[in-house]
Each structure stands twice: as structure tokens, then as C-alpha cells.
Chain A
Amino acid sequence: IAGITQAPTSQILAAGRRMTLRCTQDMRHNAMYWYRQDLGLGLRLIHYSNTAGTTGKGEVPDGYSVSRANTDDFPLTLASAVPSQTSVYFCASSDTEREAQYFGPGTRLTVL
């Protein structure tokens, strides 16, 4: 692994289903983030983690949950997907909160 990866690349999901988006980084960054990217709205922070074992809510956390069991992985779970969660999801990491962020390739999620 080089940098930050996400899986799956894209997914079509029926409303009401549970879905976990995966994110892994190998840069030993302390902070990790999940954003959603929607046309005209830019990037909105869903959840973040400043260090392994801690998480926090961002701007649009409702309907999403995260965990940070170790430094490398930061999965995002949609417990019961709804169509408004159709978006492109980006995971990012940074050494500290103040530093530049490195982004994953994104997951395009469609909820029908």
C-alpha cells in the first residue's frame, strides 16, 4: 500500500441496507477524516479521528458512524442507507490537524 486507499471504488446500494466504506493509510498519520463531496456544496466533514481510539463528529454526521481501532484503518458505516446519502466519499489523513491532508481516491455510492 502506498499512501491512502479506499474500497470499494463504487457501489450501488438499496435503501435500508447497511454499508461499510473502508479506508486504510500506511503513512502512520495520526488524524483521519471522512468527507462527502456533493455538487455545489464542496467537501463536508462527516467524522474525524485525531488519533487511534478517538473519534469526533463533523458537520454532517447523522446516519454515519466510524471507528478507529488502530492507526491505519478508519471505516465509515452507514447503518441504514437512504437516497440522500448518494455521494462521493473521500477519506483523508494528515500528520496533525493543522497539516495538509492526503486524500484517498474516493468511493462513489449510489443509494436507490
Chain B
Amino acid sequence: AQRVTQPEKLLSVFKGAPVELKCNYSYSGSPELFWYVQYSRQRLQLLLRHISRESIKGFTADLNKGETSFHLKKPFAQEEDSAMYYCALSGPRGFKTIFGAGTRLFVKA
């Protein structure tokens, strides 16, 4: 069955520390993977997608098909990174996007 797993509900790090938000997926085909972010009292917005292979706000994510993972990383966390992060998977026509349960990142001063 198709599934997106974010094993950590809450991740707390100090400012300046590296951060990694984990995402594992289960999908038999060729997935499209995304990270969305939701800052306090704001709407969800796209942070990045694997196909673009870009860095947004210092975050990167690499698709590892062998480990079926798409972890989100940032070398030096900032307080403004505190937010809810969702990993999502989509597929070909007819496949509905699946979201993980989300990880709340809290960056402490």
C-alpha cells in the first residue's frame, strides 16, 4: 500500500544546529515527492520538490530510491524555521497525493 511516514511528531533543536526531518515512503511506481511547510497561523506552502533539486531557505532534500526516503535537511537551523513540515507523495494520473502526519520543528534560541 502507498504510504508516507514521518516518524517524528516533534523535533526540537537549538539554533545553529543541523536539522533533519525524516520522510519514508512506500510506493511501487515512480514517485513525485514534496515537502510542504506551515508556519504558525499560515497556510501550507510548497517548500521544495525532488524534481527541481533546488535549495529553498537553506533546506535540501534528496530522493533515495534504495532507502525509499526523502529526508529534509538544513545545516544550520534558524528560529524562523520553526513550523510544521509535511512530506507528500504523488504519482501518475489517478493517484491522489498522500501526506505524512507531519513533523513539528521547534528551533530554540
Contacts and interface: CB of A to CB of B under 8 A. Distances in A.
A98 B45 CA distance: 16
A41 B86 CA distance: 11
Interface string B23-37: 000000000101010
Contact of B43 (A40, A44, A96, A105): A105
A31 B38 CA distance: 21
B96 A42 contact: no
Residue picked from B46, B49, B91, most chain A C-beta under 10 Å: B46
Determine the interface band of chain B, counting residues with CB < 8 A from chain A. Answer: 20 to 34
Nearest to B104: A39
Chain B interface main SS type: loop
Given A58-B96, A97-B93, A97-B95, A42 B86 contact: yes
B99 interface: yes
Given A42-B86, A43-B86, A90-B44, A101 B97 contact: yes
Interface in A50-77: 58
A42 B43 contact: no
Contact of A48 (B42, B45, B96): B96
B66 interface: no
A103 B34 CA distance: 14
A101 B46 contact: yes
A111 interface: no
Contacts of A35: 99
B45 A103 contact: yes
Nearest to A3: B43
Contacts of A104: 43
Given A42-B6, A98-B90, 20 more contacts: A33-B97, A40-B9, A40-B101, A41-B101, A42-B86, A42-B99, A43-B44, A43-B99, A43-B102, A96-B93, A97-B97, A98-B32, A98-B92, A101-B97, A102-B45, A102-B46, A103-B44, A103-B45, A105-B42, A106-B43
5 shortest interchain CB distances as A-B pairs:
A42-B101, A43-B99, A103-B44, A100-B46, A103-B43
